[in-house]
Amino acid sequence: MANPRDQIITLPTPSLRRHSKKVGLVDKSITRIINNMQAALLDWEASREHEVGVALAAIQINQSLRIVIIRNDFNNKEDRTYTIFINPTITKYEGNIEEDFEGCLSVKDIYGKVPRYTKIKVKAQNLNGKEFRVTADGFLARTFQHEIDHTNGVLFVDHIKDNSEAFFKLNDEGNLEQLDDKDIQNHHIFR
């Protein structure tokens, strides 16, 4: 049997560029998709020495639905629990725009220094269809923006494609190294 992480699609897969559909009724098929998302994310994390599975959008396992899962504790790899956000929408951007590093399970081995708002407000639904709201700042705000972008067919590389100095790769020691222009031009995500 294949590893759950094998469900994760990567660039240049065209479906990553699709806008995800709004979820109506949360039924067993939606619950199954969410379970598959969590299994894929945790299996991916288990295969990576220096990285943590922070979040995933349903489109990343080729399910074109507005579903996002976000890890409850980014700093504790032993905490393998996630909060589910169905039909998440950013209702307000606040704070400053700051650059920081982002990676993506659907963009293999590339990291970027991406500008994002430092604080946002999000509304979503839980598994019972009940609407709830979250105010997020710092890394959580960045994570929401990254994942909600996925539901709109946007990836982090789209925000920095005109800035060759914003691209990095992870070395064997777990440190980020800047890519040079030639590496970027030859990378499959830019073809």
| Residue 90: CB atoms within 10 Å | 16
- Structural domains of the chain sorted by starting position, each given as residue range(s) with its CATH number in brackets: 4-190 (3.90.45.10)
Q: What is the model's pLDDT at position 3?
A: 87
Please tell me the predicted confidence (pLDDT) of residue 74.
Answer: 86
Q: What is the separation, in whole angstroms, between the first and last Cα of the chain? A: 32
Q: pTM value?
A: 0.93
| Secondary structure (3-state) at 174 | coil
Between strands 67-71 and 55-57, the pairing is antiparallel
Q: What is the pLDDT along the chain (191 residues), one digit of tens a residue?
A: 478 889 999 999 999 999 999 999 999 999 999 999 999 999 999 988 878 899 999 999 999 999 999 999 988 888 889 999 999 999 999 999 999 999 999 998 889 999 999 999 999 999 999 999 999 999 999 999 999 999 999 999 999 988 989 999 888 888 899 988 776 766 666 65
pLDDT at 149: 98
Question: What is the C-alpha separation between 48 and 26, in angstroms, rounded?
Answer: 32
Q: Which residues are catalytic?
A: 147
Task: Find how far residue 128's CA is from the centre of its chain.
Answer: 23
What pLDDT shows up at residue 27? 94
Whether 11 and 155 have beta carbons less than 8 Å apart is answered as yes
Ramachandran bin of 138, using left for φ above 0, alpha for ψ from -120 to 50, beta for the remaining angles: left
Residues 6+ apart with CB under 8 A from 62: 7, 9, 13, 15
Q: What residues have CB less than 8 Å from 42, skipping those under 6 apart?
A: 4, 53, 80
The number of helices, as runs of H, and strands, as runs of E, in the chain is 4, 7
pLDDT of residue 51: 83
